[in-house]
Amino acid sequence: MIITHVFSPTYWTVSFEGTPYNTNPKTALKAKDWAVKTGADVVYNLAFFNMSNYNTVNYVKGGYKDFGYGGVAERLTVSPGNVCGGYATGIRDNEVVIRGDGSTRTRNGIGITPKGNIIIAQSTSKVAEKNFCKEVAMQVNQYYKESVKLFLMEDGGGSTQMYSAISRLGISPEGGRKVPTVICVKRRTLPKFTRVLKVGCKGEDVRLLQMLLGGIECDGSYGNATKKRVKEAQKALGLTADGSAGPVTLKALGLY
């Protein structure tokens, strides 16, 4: 599965957190621990190259160079003072440009839309680079009604992981691998929920719920997969597990 999120700077702040890879001992934390340290609602492991404020970072080999080991010239600014490169350019102006070698592994990457919204995508299973980028472009186009200005591939390997705001409930994997570089997303403000969310509902409020639940596609459509995740959250919270997200459930999840 490939899960793509698009974050609007109106509602979210996006920033990098990490430690230089050449420190000894190397400082690394699990995604959960990064969330506690930074106070973030969502934390993603991304293996950044040339991340601002760090002279060399995760997987930069053979010494520091302008764009890191195998890096590309494109830069992506996610917020003031937070700029990163990647090991390859996957999508440019909504066109998949990466060739890929056909090998499969878990993937992740970061991008931006023409409106300045930040794209973060990760796969939960092994996939070829080109197919990963095709799916990311499709999801941004179809689910978010936007295009992709630039999308940079990061060195995911076996380290892809996400920690959402409600992962602490034990319904979403936090990722067991310690990593030195992450991207942190914090809620700036959110629109108020004005309805009970249940099977058949569609909209941005459904998409937000899906994002914070984690582990499901953020297509903005409340289907059986979303209902299942809501029921798991309700059980963990000691609520009536009916699979519908009303005021009590939304408040317990910090969304009301």
Same domain, 107 and 226: no
Q: Pick from 186, 209, 243: which residue ends a domain?
A: 186
pLDDT at 49: 63
**Confidence grade of residue 68 (pLDDT, cut at 50, 70, 90):** very low
b/e map 34-52, b = 16+ CB within 10 Å: bbeebebbbbbbbbbbbbb
Same domain, 165 and 217: no
Same domain, 170 and 152: yes
pLDDT in tens, 38-55: 888 888 888 666 555 544
Percent of the chain with pLDDT over 90: 30
Cα angle for residues 187, 157, 167 (degrees, 5° grid): 35
pLDDT at 58: 42
Does residue 208 carry a pLDDT above 60?
Answer: yes
Q: Pick from 162, 186, 210: which residue ends a domain?
A: 186
List the alpha helices (DSSP H) in the chain.
31-38, 129-143, 204-213, 224-237, 247-252
Does residue 173 carry a pLDDT above 70?
Answer: no
Cα angle for residues 133, 139, 144 (degrees, 5° grid): 135
- CATH (domain of 218): 1.10.101.10
pLDDT in tens, 223-247: 999 999 899 889 988 999 999 999 9
pLDDT at 63: 38
Same domain, 78 and 112: yes
Same domain, 59 and 159: yes
b/e map 112-144, b = 16+ CB within 10 Å: bbeeebbbbbbbeeebbbbbbbbbbbebbeebb
**Confidence grade of residue 91 (pLDDT, cut at 50, 70, 90):** very high
Q: Pick from 186, 204, 230: which residue ends a domain?
A: 186
**Confidence grade of residue 177 (pLDDT, cut at 50, 70, 90):** confident
Whether residue 218 contacts residue 143, with contact meaning beta carbons closer than 8 Å, is answered with: yes
- Of these ranges, 59-63, 168-172, 238-242, the one predicted with the greatest mean pLDDT is 238-242
Q: Cis peptide leading into 25, omega within 30 of 0? A: yes
The total domain count for the chain is 2
Q: Which domain holds residue 231?
A: 190-252
Same domain, 180 and 199: no
Same domain, 197 and 83: no
**Residue 229 DSSP code:** H
pLDDT at 131: 93
Same domain, 247 and 162: no
pLDDT in tens, 127-144: 899 999 999 999 999 988
Least Cα distance to 44 among 89, 4, 104 occurs for 4
Same domain, 178 and 229: no
